């Protein structure tokens, strides 16, 4: 893909080169902290209407690029579009999280169709094409999916819970049944990610938001192994595909994740321990992160110090500057500007 050659400096970092000024973007950068987003959101109706109307999805994807000139755009979508394409009911209710029909017994799981209806995801591909066409060549376009474990936690519980106990319990009690959900997600995520690359994505990110609740054996089986299969499956069809993993909360399990999955970079959360990351992660792959989103809300000297910590901890290696998790709706835009200035003025 020609775009991959052009989309510097973001892709250079994934390809093995350190940038003097780290590329920067923010998880959930197309979001409620932006007035222009809230305006489109109000027009679109429901959250899924926003995801599945290419005109709207394109617009909100581009908004943070126009305003902040970030080094990467991430397609506006949601990790639950795969269960949706698998025929599961997915609803987003205002002020609550997502709601699905729980898939919490082996009998219910047996009804799950193995193949997604990809025509339902065509609007995402169309939005990617439109964004890529409008985006300056030097800006990377990121496609994404949820990791099977994280998507499965929502499919099993029907919603988010404090530590995703329902899926963990099902995986203990009925590992074979649970594996059929994971397998369906692996296969369809490969297809979906390849589709996103074909539609113009330069890079892919796999969000495993709930990886941190798993004990080591389960982390290996339900986070590392399915992610490894996705990375291999995508590369079997797009050999030079660049992939970022984000097993949030993996802590000291992160080196094993990096070694086994074959990702080109990992996103790290704000609680990561710097020397472990430098010695056993950044020595092998690029690192993306990891400002505490609360520091971005706090602003002032606390924000400057938190930014400097990220730059000093990871700036001597391959770094993509980002938050440790998504930006929160109450974040002042002036603080985002303060962050971007400070990162772009940085010279290690």
Three-state DSSP class for 92? strand
Contact 30, 63 (CB under 8 A): yes
Active-site residue, 308 included = no
- Asked if residue 324 binds a copy of itself (CB under 8 A), the reply is yes
Shortest CB 287 distance to a copy of itself, Å: 14
Q: Does 252 bind a copy of itself (CB under 8 A)?
A: yes
Q: How far is the CB of 308 from a copy of itself (least distance, A)?
A: 10
Cα separation, 25 vs 116, whole angstroms:
31
User: Should residue 344 be labelled a site residue for a copy of itself when binding is judged by CB under 8 A?
Assistant: no
The span from the CA of 254 to the CA of 276, in Å, is 9
Whether residue 28 lies in the annotated active site = yes
- Give min distance, CB of 41 to a copy of itself, in A: 23
Decide whether 95 or 215 has the Cβ nearer to a copy of itself: 215
Report the alpha-carbon distance of residue 317 to residue 283 in Å, rounded: 8
Q: How near is the Cβ of 322 to a copy of itself at its closest, in Å?
A: 14
**Active-site residue 269, yes or no?**
no
| Comparison of 137 and 300: residue with beta carbon closer to a copy of itself | 300
251 lies in the binding site for a copy of itself (CB under 8 A): yes
Q: Does 316 bind a copy of itself (CB under 8 A)?
A: no
Which ranges of the chain would DSSP assign to H, the alpha helix?
2-6, 10-15, 35-44, 47-52, 54-68, 81-85, 106-110, 122-134, 148-157, 165-173, 175-198, 216-218, 225-237, 254-261, 274-280, 293-298, 300-314, 333-344
Q: In DSSP terms, which residues pair with 322 in a beta bridge?
A: 290
Smallest gap from Cβ 339 to a copy of itself, in A, equals: 14
217, 239, 240, 347: which one binds a copy of itself (CB under 8 A): 217
Distance in angstroms (rounded) separating the CA atoms of residues 245 and 265: 6
Give yes or no: 78 in active site.
Answer: yes
Of the residues 84, 154, 314, 346, only one is catalytic, namely 154
CB-count exposure of residue 93 (10 Å: 0-12, 13-18, 19+): exposed
**Residue holding tokens 């792959």?**
285
58 bridge partner residues: none
* Distance in Å, CB of 160 to a copy of itself, minimum: 9
Q: Which structure tokens are listed for 330?
A: 């109450």
Catalytic residue among 71, 78, 104, 208: 78
Q: Between residue 173 and residue 192, which ones bind a copy of itself under the rule CB under 8 A?
A: 173, 175
CB 57 within 8 A of CB 101: no
Kindly tell me which residue out of 95, 133, 176, 215 binds a copy of itself, with binding defined by CB under 8 A: 215
Q: Out of 34, 272, 319, 343, name the contact with a copy of itself by CB under 8 A.
A: 272
- List active site positions: 28, 32, 41, 78, 154
Residues interacting with a copy of itself, by CB under 8 A? 162, 165, 168-169, 172-173, 175, 212-217, 219, 249, 251-253, 256, 270-274, 276, 292, 294-295, 297-298, 300, 302-303, 305-306, 309, 313, 324
């Amino acid at each position: 893909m020609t775009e991959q050659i052009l989309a510097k400096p973001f892709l250079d970092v994934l390809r093995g080169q350190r940038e003097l000024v780290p590329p920067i973007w923010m998880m959930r950068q197309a979001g409620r902290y932006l007035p222009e987003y809230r305006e489109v959101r109000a027009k679109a109706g429901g959250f899924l209407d926003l995801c599945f109307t290419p005109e709207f999805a394109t617009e909100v994807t581009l908004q943070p690029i126009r305003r902040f000139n970030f080094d990467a755009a991430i397609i506006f979508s949601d990790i639950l579009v795969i269960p949706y394409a698998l025929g599961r009911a997915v609803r987003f209710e205002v002020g609550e999280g997502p709601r699905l029909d729980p898939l919490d017994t082996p009998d219910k799981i047996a009804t799950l169709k193995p193949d997604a209806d990809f025509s339902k995801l065509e609007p995402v591909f169309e939005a990617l094409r439109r964004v890529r066409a409008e985006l300056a060549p030097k800006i990377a376009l990121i496609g994404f999916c949820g990791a099977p474990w994280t998507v499965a936690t929502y499919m099993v519980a029907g919603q988010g819970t404090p530590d995703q106990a329902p899926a963990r319990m099902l995986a203990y009690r009925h590992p074979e049944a649970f594996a059929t959900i994971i397998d369906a997600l692996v296969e369809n995520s490969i297809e979906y990610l390849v589709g996103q690359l074909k539609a113009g994505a330069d890079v892919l990110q796999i969000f495993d938001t709930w990886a941190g609740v798993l004990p080591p054996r389960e982390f290996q089986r339900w986070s590392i192994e399915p992610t490894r299969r996705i990375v291999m499956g995508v590369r079997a069809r797009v050999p030079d595909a660049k992939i970022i993993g984000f097993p949030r909360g993996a802590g000291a399990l992160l080196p094993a994740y990096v070694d086994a999955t074959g990702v080109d970079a990992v996103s790290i959360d704000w609680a990561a321990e710097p020397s472990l990351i430098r010695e056993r992660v950044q020595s092998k792959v690029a690192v993306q992160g990891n400002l505490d989103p609360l520091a971005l809300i706090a602003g002032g000297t606390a924000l400057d110090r938190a930014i400097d910590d990220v730059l000093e901890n990871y700036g001597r290696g391959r770094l993509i500057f980002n938050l440790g998790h998504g930006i929160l709706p109450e974040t002042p835009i002036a603080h985002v500007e303060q962050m971007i200035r400070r990162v772009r003025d940085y010279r290690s």
